[in-house]
């Protein structure tokens, strides 16, 4: 590989925003037919670097060489024309347009001044086939699974003759099967000589598909591994710059007292059916399963966010089946939802207000309330949970980990009996995750009943006393901590 | 200007803290006043200031309701028509049916509120977009207002009714202006210091976050549309007193003036930021601008052009400031 010339070379790339330097002279070579993992915590400079390569951002200093020639794309389109394509984390497809239209949007093939629909669909079909995607190009994007949409984004880049692809967290929203499909396609692209920069927080998959690993920290390249198969601990240590004793805190022994019981619970949409389990005081109960197994729907139903068709929820033996979030909250059952930015916090409101919104009843006296009182109330919890921010700061300015702490703080202020966390560390960087785990286990230690839903297998295994595995809306089994490992969980999940 | 200062001192404690985020519009208002002070010799007088206050009463009362609706990310296009319907109900009850004002006014306000209740239920229970629901209510209420007298105006209110808009108590406030000031103060207090008011910001910021936080979003939404329609009805009472007559064609396109005042005052149409403090400034800007343009003998058509330009200016300035 090293005797071939690189597709892209970066030398001394720097980027500053005003006085703040976010990249300190990065060197990087990408060769044809290799997958290079770009790793680092949030804020390490991965996004800035990939934005520079894809022409979204211009470097302050340094040089780039593309196929032996100087390369300085002024915008994403220029980069695209050279053959550099970036697939963003948030998909940028237009749902109401067909796949073919999406692939060619902005550069439709024309024939005598009119759109050449036939050429467009044929070329789109060729792109889809290259990825082994069996969908018609005249189908609307709307309704396609996230995984499929991701592949269409890739097809789009390929149809534009991309020779270097940057994939930013491509599997963040994918289920197991879709991830496999994506990896399979990545292998094919490699064989065709396409270079790939792969950004992900999921270290397990990095080991599987990458040929080289580049670790960034604080805007600089700190370590480079010449193979993908590096122990996760080594990678994590390079990322956080300190050695990790252990990621997960020790779990407390749960009491024998059953707090929450779920009996024969089913959703009107059949997203989950006939679920039965009980959780004890001070226990962390994990729920694992593949994308679409009905985990999120189940916990949303338990916390009143989604409707329940039949079955009941009992708290200390008393039926409390919620019909709205208000019902559940009154009974001390609270949800830390899956999508922080859309369901957890109001991004352009302050931290204090966000904490206040779940506690207005307690903060107000006879219905009267003042901003000062909200701030005082919140300040206390901001300190207690170690949120790195001031009460008056907007929640949108915080990192994912700190936003999650705000969501937790707003609930814990109510002293709940049951805390349900759906994907508590999604999109949160590795260093910040352990503080979330500490909070979760700390809750259990205080006698709170905790339910954790996670797609991150290591995470569910690490924090749960027992794990319920769901498959296609049904409960496939409940494993004790001793019996649970990635194999036994995956076996049940793929039932 | 002297009166202006006096007026503000009265409720400075409430208004000033409410102006955070509306400092831009406030500066605009001050610049506008300074300009008009030098450009005309009639602008800077107590008498003219009281005139401006009289002229903005209808818009002011209506814009407070609109602020609440826009704050939760909604819109109410029906306020102009609801106002006309409330006025016609008042006229019919009092003049035609002989119902005393003390009963006719509450009934007219009740009819107005009922429209908000229907709009609110359409929006929350039947998931009709607010734009469509209130567009429909706009058409329905305008039709009903016309049906009451087959499009004719009604005159013949008791003499004291018109006096409410003319007699200046203490040489200062007409009753109609007093109504507006009370609405402003109650609105400000509610929005800033009541549980129910704070909730509106959460809903406008992100309705799903609010719902999951245990806020009764549906109830709050319905309530906001009811209050908005109630205030539209109340502005109708104020207009009826000022005109001493009611006609079903009143209030056409008033909803757009109200929205303009809210937007000039810095409340975002996407909800969650802004408030009544800004809207008061927005209403004053529109009032002072119209008054000033009249004093400068600018034609009414040109006035429309200028007010449009001011809306664009206000919103762009705000967006620019936020980006910085």
Indicate if the pLDDT at residue A2 is higher than 50.
no
| Angle of CA points A108, A110, A111, to nearest 5° | 160
Contact residues on chain A for B73, CB-CB shorter than 8 A: none
- Quote the pLDDT of residue A236: 77
| ipTM tops 0.85 | no
- Put simply, whether A410 touches B (Cβ < 8 Å) is yes
Burial of B195 (0-12, 13-18, 19+ CB in 10 A): middle
CA-nearest residue of chain B to A353?
B202
Residue A325 has its nearest CB partner, among B192, B212, B273, at B212
Render pLDDT for B151-210 as a digit per residue (tens, 0 to 9).
Answer: 999 999 999 999 999 998 887 889 999 999 999 999 999 998 999 999 999 999 999 999
Contact residues on chain A for B216, CB-CB shorter than 8 A: 324, 326
180-209 of A, contacting B, C-beta below 8 A: none
**Same fold: A8-240 with A258-493:** yes
Residue B214 has its nearest CB partner, among A329, A344, A370, at A329
Residue B194 has its nearest CB partner, among A325, A345, A369, at A369
- What is the per-residue DSSP string for A349-367? SBHHHHHHHT-HHHH-BTT
When pLDDT is averaged across residues A468-493 and rounded to a whole number, the result is 88
Provide the CB-side half-sphere exposure for B240 (13 A, CA): 35
- Quote the pLDDT of residue B324: 60
Indicate if the pLDDT at residue A393 is higher than 50.
yes
When pLDDT is averaged across residues B278-290 and rounded to a whole number, the result is 95
Architecture of domain A258-493: 3-Layer(aba) Sandwich (3.40)
- Flag if B202 and A349 touch (Cβ within 8 Å): yes
CA-nearest residue of chain A to B189?
A368
**Element (DSSP H or E) covering residue A314:** strand A310-315
CB count within 10 Å of CB A137 equals 24
CA distance A298 to A302: 6
CA distance B239 to B254: 12
Label residue A244 by pLDDT band (50, 70, 90).
low
Task: List the single best residue of A369, A372, A409, A411 to mutate versus B (max B Cβ within 10 A).
Answer: A369
Residue B215 has its nearest CB partner, among A330, A343, A357, at A357
CA-nearest residue of chain B to A360?
B195
- Flag if B193 and A370 touch (Cβ within 8 Å): yes
Q: Which range is least confidently modeled, A208-212, A393-397, B235-239? A: A393-397
Task: List the single best residue of B206, B210, B213 to mutate versus A (max A Cβ within 10 A).
Answer: B213
Indicate if the pLDDT at residue B287 is higher than 80.
yes
Indicate if the pLDDT at residue B271 is higher than 60.
yes
Indicate if the pLDDT at residue A464 is higher than 90.
yes
CA distance B109 to B117: 12
Assessment of whether the complete model's pTM goes beyond 0.80: no
Contact A455, A174 (CB under 8 A): no
Task: List the single best residue of B202, B212, B272, B274 to mutate versus A (max A Cβ within 10 A).
Answer: B212
- Flag if B196 and A367 touch (Cβ within 8 Å): yes
Nearest Cα of chain B lies from the Cα of A220 at a distance, in angstroms, of 28
Render pLDDT for B61-73 as a digit per residue (tens, 0 to 9).
Answer: 999 999 999 999 9
Question: Could you tell me the residue range of the domain that residue B25 belongs to?
Answer: 12-323
Label residue B103 by pLDDT band (50, 70, 90).
very high
Contact residues on chain B for A392, CB-CB shorter than 8 A: none
Domain count, chain B: 1
- Flag if A368 and B206 touch (Cβ within 8 Å): no
User: Could you tell me where the DSSP H helices lie in A331-399?
Assistant: 351-357, 360-363, 371-384
Task: List the single best residue of B197, B209, B223, B274 to mutate versus A (max A Cβ within 10 A).
Answer: B209
Indicate if the pLDDT at residue A117 is higher than 50.
yes
Render pLDDT for A20-45 as a digit per residue (tens, 0 to 9).
Answer: 678 889 999 999 999 999 988 766 78
Coil, helix or strand at residue A166: strand
Q: Chain-wide mean pLDDT for chain B?
A: 90
- Put simply, whether A416 touches B (Cβ < 8 Å) is no
Most confident of A3-12, A33-42, A92-101, B100-109: B100-109
- Flag if B209 and A346 touch (Cβ within 8 Å): yes
- Put simply, whether A325 touches B (Cβ < 8 Å) is yes
Indicate if the pLDDT at residue A243 is higher than 60.
no
Q: B interface toward A at CB cutoff 8 Å?
A: 192-196, 198-199, 201-202, 205-206, 208-216, 272-273
Indicate if the pLDDT at residue B312 is higher than 70.
yes
- Put simply, whether A349 touches B (Cβ < 8 Å) is yes
Residue A348 has its nearest CB partner, among B198, B205, B208, at B205
For β-strands A69-70 and A20-30, DSSP reports them as unpaired
Contact residues on chain B for A412, CB-CB shorter than 8 A: none
- Quote the pLDDT of residue B20: 56
When pLDDT is averaged across residues A366-378 and rounded to a whole number, the result is 89
**Is residue B3 a part of any domain in this protein?**
no
Question: Residue B220 belongs to a domain with what CATH number?
Answer: 1.10.3470
Contact residues on chain B for A347, CB-CB shorter than 8 A: 205-206
Render pLDDT for A287-344 as a digit per residue (tens, 0 to 9).
Answer: 998 777 899 999 999 999 999 999 999 999 999 999 999 999 999 999 999 888 888 9
Q: Which range is least confidently modeled, A376-385, B85-94, B259-268? A: A376-385
Q: What is the CA radius of gyration of chain B?
A: 19
Residue A368 has its nearest CB partner, among B194, B205, B208, at B194
CB count within 10 Å of CB B226 equals 21
- Quote the pLDDT of residue B174: 92
Residue B194 has its nearest CB partner, among A305, A367, A371, at A367
When pLDDT is averaged across residues A420-430 and rounded to a whole number, the result is 84
Nearest Cα of chain B lies from the Cα of A325 at a distance, in angstroms, of 5
Q: Give residue A244's Cα distance to chain centre.
A: 22
Contact residues on chain B for A329, CB-CB shorter than 8 A: 213-214
User: Measured on CA atoms in the order A288, A401, A279, A343, is the torsion positive or negative?
Assistant: negative
Indicate if the pLDDT at residue B11 is higher than 60.
no
When pLDDT is averaged across residues B261-268 and rounded to a whole number, the result is 92
What share of chain A in percent tops pLDDT 90? 38
Domain boundaries in chain A? 8-240, 258-493
Label residue A113 by pLDDT band (50, 70, 90).
confident
What share of chain B in percent tops pLDDT 70? 93
Contact residues on chain B for A330, CB-CB shorter than 8 A: 214
Contact A179, A208 (CB under 8 A): no
CA distance A100 to A121: 5
Indicate if the pLDDT at residue B236 is higher than 90.
yes
- Quote the pLDDT of residue A19: 67
Residue B193 has its nearest CB partner, among A357, A361, A368, at A368
Q: Reading across the β-sheet that carries A84-87, which strands appear in turn?
A: A84-87, A164-168, A195-199, A35-39, A212-217, A220-225
Label residue B5 by pLDDT band (50, 70, 90).
very low
- Quote the pLDDT of residue B225: 98
Contact residues on chain A for B202, CB-CB shorter than 8 A: 346, 349, 353, 357
- Flag if B195 and A368 touch (Cβ within 8 Å): yes
Residue A326 has its nearest CB partner, among B202, B216, B272, at B216
Q: Which range is least confidently modeled, A102-116, A443-457, B273-287? A: A102-116
Size of interface A-B (CB pairs under 8 A): 76
Q: Which range is least confidently modeled, A352-361, B18-27, B103-112, B216-225? A: B18-27
CATH superfamily of A8-240: P-loop containing nucleotide triphosphate hydrolases (3.40.50.300)
Contact A331, A316 (CB under 8 A): no
Contact residues on chain A for B193, CB-CB shorter than 8 A: 368-370
When pLDDT is averaged across residues A201-219 and rounded to a whole number, the result is 86
- Higher pLDDT among residues A226 and A431, named by residue: A226
Contact residues on chain B for A367, CB-CB shorter than 8 A: 194-196
- Quote the pLDDT of residue A189: 87
For residue A260, give the nearest of A2, A466, A15, A492 by alpha carbon: A466
- Put simply, whether A357 touches B (Cβ < 8 Å) is yes
- What is the per-residue DSSP string for A175-220? -HHHHHHHHHHHHHHHHTT-EEEEE-S-HHHHHHH-SEEEEEETTE
**Is residue B251 a part of any domain in this protein?**
yes
Nearest Cα of chain B lies from the Cα of A346 at a distance, in angstroms, of 6
- Flag if B198 and A370 touch (Cβ within 8 Å): no
Both tokens of residue A386? 């170690």
Q: Which range is least confidently modeled, A110-124, B196-210, B246-260? A: A110-124
CA-nearest residue of chain A to B322?
A348
Give A54's DSSP letter: T
When pLDDT is averaged across residues A254-263 and rounded to a whole number, the result is 92
For residue A42, give the nearest of A437, A439, A430, A455 by alpha carbon: A430
Give residues with Cβ within 8 angstroms of A72, minimum separation 6.
A58, A64
- Flag if B198 and A326 touch (Cβ within 8 Å): no
Indicate if the pLDDT at residue B1 is higher than 50.
no
Indicate if the pLDDT at residue A419 is higher than 90.
yes
When pLDDT is averaged across residues B13-29 and rounded to a whole number, the result is 67
Indicate if the pLDDT at residue B12 is higher than 50.
no
CA-nearest residue of chain A to B194?
A368
What share of chain B in percent tops pLDDT 90? 79
When pLDDT is averaged across residues B128-134 and rounded to a whole number, the result is 96
């Amino acid at each position: 590989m090293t005797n071939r010339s690189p597709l892209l070379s970066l030398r001394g790339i720097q980027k500053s925003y005003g006085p703040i330097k976010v990249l300190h002279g990065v060197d990087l070579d990408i060769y044809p037919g290799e997958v290079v993992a770009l790793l680092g915590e949030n804020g390490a400079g991965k996004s800035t670097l990939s934005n520079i390569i894809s022409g979204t951002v211009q470097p302050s200093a340094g040089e780039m060489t593309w196929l032996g020639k100087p390369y300085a794309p002024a915008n994403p389109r220029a980069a695209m024309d050279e053959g550099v394509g970036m697939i963003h984390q948030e998909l940028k497809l237009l749902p109401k347009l067909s796949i073919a239209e999406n692939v060619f949007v902005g550069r439709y093939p024309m024939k005598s001044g009119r759109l050449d629909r036939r050429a467009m669909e044929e070329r789109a079909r060729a792109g889809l086939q290259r990825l082994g995607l069996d969908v018609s190009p005249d189908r609307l994007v709307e309704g396609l699974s996230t995984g499929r949409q991701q592949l269409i984004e890739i097809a789009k880049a390929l149809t534009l003759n991309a020779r270097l692809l940057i994939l930013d967290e491509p599997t963040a929203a994918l289920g197991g099967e879709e991830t496999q499909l994506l990896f399979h396609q990545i292998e094919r692209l490699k064989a065709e000589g396409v270079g790939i920069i792969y950004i992900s927080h999921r270290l397990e998959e990095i080991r599987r598909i990458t040929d080289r690993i580049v670790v960034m920290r604080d805007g600089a390249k700190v370590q480079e591994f010449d193979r993908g198969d590096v122990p996760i601990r080594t990678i994590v240590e390079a990322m956080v710059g300190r050695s990790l004793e252990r990621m997960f805190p020790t779990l407390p022994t749960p009491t024998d007292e059953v707090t929450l019981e779920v009996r024969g619970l089913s959703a009107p949409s059949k997203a989950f059916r006939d679920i039965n389990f009980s959780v004890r005081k001070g226990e962390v109960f994990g729920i694992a399963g593949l994308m679409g197994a009905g985990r999120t729907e189940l916990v949303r139903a338990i916390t009143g966010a989604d409707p329940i068709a039949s079955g009941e929820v009992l708290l200390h033996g008393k039926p409390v089946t919620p019909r709205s979030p208000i019902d559940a909250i009154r009974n001390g059952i609270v949800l830390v939802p899956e999508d922080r930015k859309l369901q957890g916090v109001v991004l352009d409101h302050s931290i204090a207000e966000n904490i206040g919104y779940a506690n207005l009843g307690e903060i107000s006296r006879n219905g009267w309330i003042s901003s000062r009182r909200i701030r005082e109330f919140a300040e206390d919890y901001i300190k207690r949970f170690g949120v790195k921010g001031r009460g008056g700061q907007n929640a949108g300015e915080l990192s994912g980990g700190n936003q999650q702490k705000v969501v937790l703080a707003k609930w814990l202020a109510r002293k709940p009996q049951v805390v349900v966390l759906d994907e508590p560390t999604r999109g949160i960087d590795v260093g910040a995750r352990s503080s979330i785990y500490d909070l979760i286990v700390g809750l259990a230690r205080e006698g709170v009943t905790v339910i954790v839903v996670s797609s991150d297998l290591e995470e569910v295994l690490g924090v749960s006393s027992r794990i319920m595995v769901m498959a296609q809306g049904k409960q496939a089994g409940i494993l004790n901590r001793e019996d649970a490992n990635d194999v036994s969980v995956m076996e049940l999940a793929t039932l | 200007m002297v009166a202006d200062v006096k007026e503000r001192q009265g409720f400075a404690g409430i208004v000033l803290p409410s102006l955070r985020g509306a400092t831009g519009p406030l500066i605009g208002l001050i610049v506008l006043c300074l300009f008009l002070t030098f450009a005309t010799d009639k602008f800077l007088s107590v008498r003219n200031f009281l005139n401006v206050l009289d002229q903005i009463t209808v818009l002011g009362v209506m814009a407070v309701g609109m602020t609440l609706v826009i704050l939760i990310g909604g819109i109410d296009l029906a306020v102009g028509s609801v106002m006309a319907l409330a006025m016609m109900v008042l006229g019919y009850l009092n003049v035609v049916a002989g119902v005393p004002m003390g009963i006719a006014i509450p009934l007219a306000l009740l009819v107005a509120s009922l429209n908000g209740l229907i709009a609110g239920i359409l929006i929350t229970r039947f998931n009709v977009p607010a734009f469509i629901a209130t567009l429909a209510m706009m058409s329905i209420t305008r039709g009903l207002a016309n049906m009451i007298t087959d499009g004719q105006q009604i005159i013949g209110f008791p003499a004291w009714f018109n006096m409410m808009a003319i007699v200046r108590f203490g040489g200062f406030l007409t009753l109609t202006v007093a109504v507006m000031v009370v609405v402003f103060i109650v609105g400000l207090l509610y929005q800033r210091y009541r549980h129910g008011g704070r909730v509106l910001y959460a809903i406008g910021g992100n309705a799903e976050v609010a719902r999951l936080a245990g806020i009764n979003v549906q109830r709050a939404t319905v309530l906001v549309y009811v209050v908005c329609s109630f205030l539209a009805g109340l502005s109708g009472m104020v207009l009826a007193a000022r005109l001493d007559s009611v006609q079903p064609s009143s209030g056409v396109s008033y909803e757009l003036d109200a929205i303009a005042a809210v937007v000039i005052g810095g409340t975002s149409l996407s909800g969650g930021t802004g408030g009544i403090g800004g809207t008061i400034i927005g209403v004053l800007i529109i009032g002072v601008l119209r008054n000033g343009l009249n004093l400068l003998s600018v034609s009414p058509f040109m006035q429309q052009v200028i007010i449009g330009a001011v809306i664009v200016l206000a919103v762009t300035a705000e967006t620019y400031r936020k980006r910085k």
